[in-house]
């Protein structure tokens, strides 16, 4: 037999106004909670005694159920009518209905199965953390595979930062379009390389021919010349003779030739890609800055822009200063080696200037080579070469570099050395060229983010060209 709905008011005992007010203020009494609690808890078990208990409770305590509307609002099943809740009365729902409504809730499921409520959240957090870790690993592997492309992109950005002040100067003073200014820079760069080769290559060929002497035209002549020679000539001819004896013959030469051709083609494509990125970045940088600014809070946008411009100025000044140092060091060392009587003075001097692009390690290697070649002509020549290299190094550190570069990147020699060695060890010798720019970017970000310095107050050197006033916009 189903219990009554609790809506009937024929057996309701009138309450005094004070008693009704007291029960409305304190509805959670033992009499009002027990029927609901018994019906909700035992409905999960679906035992026959539930119907008897629910029916008895609805018959014996209709007044208490009507008064305890606050407790029934939280504990009664969701099928109670809205009008009953507003009038302060709660319906006595049969145990079957209570069981069907309660069994579908997550709380009743956790109670019935004995599963902790927090387990679902823990599982979701663990799954999210796992997915994030896997995504990070996949991204790291992809970046490692694309490290050469990323390095070429970065070098293109550095080249653009070096060209931008002069391109802006031509556009502002001579009304030269930016695209034409970029082409003029690239043509000037090619003309400088052609002039260097025109001046250096003939003299270098003469010195190489003098070092080797009469070049043998056959393998037997090369072997005899290597046996009867001495000094650097003996070393070069012996190496050539050994290499020629190890060369494969016939069709086996096809694969090495294809490999060399492929490598040269990849190098050419990489160089073209790098300069193309530099040209496009001249026009795309401002758009990239605006995009990054839109992704940060409004209060950090000025600092973000000033930091970007400061890094751009530092990298540009560093590249322009490095090329100036290459020219100055190559000229001074070649002249000093010529005065000292150093053999192959032009080759060694020019090479010493070029290896200035490799910080710390390059000048050290150039000095060792100069002293070693000088020993073939006598210890006095080697001593003079060592003194020339050491004197130029001091002149570069204390006079040339401060005036030309003005501490463009603001890094100590120890940081430069560690950066070069670390990048060379992790990525390879080719990536040493980007070691100092990476360290400069990291140092600038540390100053702005960690040390809370204002990038607008930092003074970056303007090698050859003054700033374009971008930081004031």
Whether 163 and 72 map to the same domain: the answer is: no
pLDDT > 70 in the chain, percent? 61
Do residues 160 and 106 share a domain? no
Mean pLDDT score, 98-125: 55
Q: Is the pLDDT of residue 249 over 90?
A: no
Average pLDDT of the residues of the chain: 73
Structural domain total, the chain: 2
- For residue 23, what pLDDT is reported? 67
Name the token pair of 465: 């060209």
Q: Name the residue range of residue 89's domain.
A: 17-113
Same domain, 237 and 329: yes
One domain for residues 85 and 212:
no
What confidence category does residue 50 fall into, taking pLDDT thresholds of 50, 70 and 90? very low
- Select from 95, 113, 131 the last residue of a domain: 113
Rounded to whole angstroms, the Cα distance separating 80 from 61 reads 18
State the average pLDDT over residues 41-69: 46
Q: Are residues 314 and 381 in the same domain?
A: yes
Report the alpha-carbon angle 288-185-464, nearest 5.
85
Q: What is the mean pLDDT of residues 411-417?
A: 80
Angle at CA 471, nearest 5°, toward 470 and 473?
70
pLDDT over threshold 70, residue 217: no
Band of residue 280 on the pLDDT scale cut at 50, 70, 90: very high
Q: Tokens 């607008």 correspond to what residue? A: 456
Within this chain, do residues 102 and 164 fall inside the same structural domain, yes or no? Answer: no
96 and 158 belong to one structural domain: no
Nearest to 278 by CA among 145, 189, 176, 170: 189
Please report the sign of the dihedral spanned by the C-alpha atoms of residue 159, residue 162, residue 166, residue 167.
Answer: positive
User: Which residues 6+ apart lie within 8 Å of 53 measured at CB?
Assistant: 35, 38, 39, 42, 95
Indicate if the pLDDT at residue 361 is higher than 50: yes
Q: Are 352 and 374 in contact (CB under 8 A)?
A: no
Which of 35, 57, 46, 59 has its CA nearest to residue 102?
46
CA 463 to chain centre: 28
Provide the pLDDT for residue 427.
Answer: 85
Indicate whether 191 belongs to any domain.
yes
- Nearest-angstrom CA–CA distance, 50 and 260: 89
User: 403 vs 428, which has greater pLDDT?
Assistant: 428
**Structural domain contains residue 12:** no
Report yes or no on 188 lying in a domain: yes
Per the domain annotation, does 143 fall within a domain? Answer: no
pLDDT digits (tens, 9 = 90+) for 117-169: 566 678 888 888 899 999 999 998 988 888 889 999 999 999 999 899 889 88
Please indicate whether residue 405 or residue 393 has the higher confidence score (pLDDT). Answer: 393
Q: Are residues 290 and 427 in the same domain?
A: yes
Kindly give, in sequence order, each residue whose CB lies less than 8 Å from that of residue 130, ignoring residues fewer than 6 positions away. none
In a domain, 140, yes or no: no
Residue 131 lies in a domain: no
Residues 302, 350, single domain; the answer is yes
pLDDT of residue 227: 67
- Whether 250 is in a domain gets the answer no
Is residue 240 located within the same domain as residue 298? yes
Please say which residue of 87, 113, 139 terminates a domain: 113
For residue 218, the model assigns a pLDDT of 62
Q: What is the pLDDT of residues 290-338, one digit of tens each?
A: 999 899 999 889 999 999 999 988 888 888 888 888 888 888 998 998 8
- Pair (355, 209) in one structural domain: yes
| Nearest to 379, CA basis, from 341, 332, 339, 336 | 341
CB contact at 8 A, 170 and 181: yes
Higher pLDDT, 58 or 355: 355
- Tokens 């430069």 map to which residue? 416
Residue 139 lies in a domain: no
Q: Is 204 exposed, middle or buried (0-12, 13-18, 19+ CB in 10 A)?
A: middle
Q: Which long-range contacts (CB under 8 A, 24 or more apart) does 233-238 make?
A: 236/211, 236/212, 237/212
Q: pLDDT-derived band of residue 35, with 50, 70 and 90 as boundaries?
A: very low
| Domain co-membership, 317 together with 439 | yes
């Amino acid at each position: 037999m189903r219990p009554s709905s609790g809506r009937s008011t024929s057996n309701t005992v009138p309450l005094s106004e004070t008693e009704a007010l007291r029960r409305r203020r304190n509805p959670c009494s033992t009499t009002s909670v027990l029927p609901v609690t018994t019906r909700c808890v035992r409905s999960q078990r679906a035992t026959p005694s539930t119907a008897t208990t629910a029916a008895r409770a609805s018959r014996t305590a209709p007044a208490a159920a009507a008064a305890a509307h606050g407790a029934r609002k939280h504990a009664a099943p969701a099928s109670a009518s809205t009008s009953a809740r507003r009038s302060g009365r709660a319906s006595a729902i049969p145990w079957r209905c209570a069981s069907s409504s309660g069994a579908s809730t997550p709380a009743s499921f956790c109670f019935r199965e004995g599963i902790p409520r927090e387990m679902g959240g823990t599982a979701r957090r663990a799954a999210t953390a796992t997915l994030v870790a896997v995504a990070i690993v996949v991204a790291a592997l992809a970046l490692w595979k694309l490290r050469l492309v990323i390095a070429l992109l970065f070098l293109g950005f550095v080249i653009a930062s070096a060209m931008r002040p002069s391109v802006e100067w031509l556009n502002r003073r001579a009304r030269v379009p930016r695209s034409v200014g970029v082409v003029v820079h690239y043509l000037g760069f090619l003309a400088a390389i052609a002039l260097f080769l025109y001046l250096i290559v003939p003299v270098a060929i003469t010195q190489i021919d003098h070092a080797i002497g009469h070049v043998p035209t056959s393998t037997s002549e090369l072997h005899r010349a290597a046996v009867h020679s001495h000094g650097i000539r003996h070393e070069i001819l012996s190496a050539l003779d050994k290499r020629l004896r190890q060369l494969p013959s016939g069709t086996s030469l096809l694969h090495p030739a294809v490999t060399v051709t492929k490598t040269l083609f990849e190098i050419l494509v990489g160089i073209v890609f790098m300069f193309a990125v530099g040209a496009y970045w001249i026009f795309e940088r401002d758009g990239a800055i605006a995009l990054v600014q839109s992704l940060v809070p409004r209060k950090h946008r000025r600092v973000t822009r000033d930091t970007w411009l400061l890094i751009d100025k530092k990298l540009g000044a560093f590249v322009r200063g490095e090329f100036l140092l290459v020219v100055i060091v190559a000229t001074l060392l070649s002249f000093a080696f010529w005065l000292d009587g150093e053999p192959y003075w032009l080759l060694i001097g020019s090479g010493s200037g070029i290896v200035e692009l490799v910080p710390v390690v390059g000048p050290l290697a150039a000095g060792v080579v100069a002293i070693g070649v000088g020993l073939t002509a006598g210890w006095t020549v080697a001593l003079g070469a060592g003194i020339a290299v050491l004197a130029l190094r001091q002149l570069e550190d204390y006079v040339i570099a401060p005036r030309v570069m003005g501490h463009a990147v603001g890094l100590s020699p120890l940081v430069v050395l560690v950066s070069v060695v670390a990048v060379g060890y992790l990525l390879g010798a080719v990536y040493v060229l980007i070691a100092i720019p990476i360290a400069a970017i990291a140092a600038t970000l540390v100053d702005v983010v960690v040390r809370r310095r204002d990038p607008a107050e930092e003074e970056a050197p303007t090698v050859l060209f003054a700033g374009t006033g971008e930081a004031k916009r």
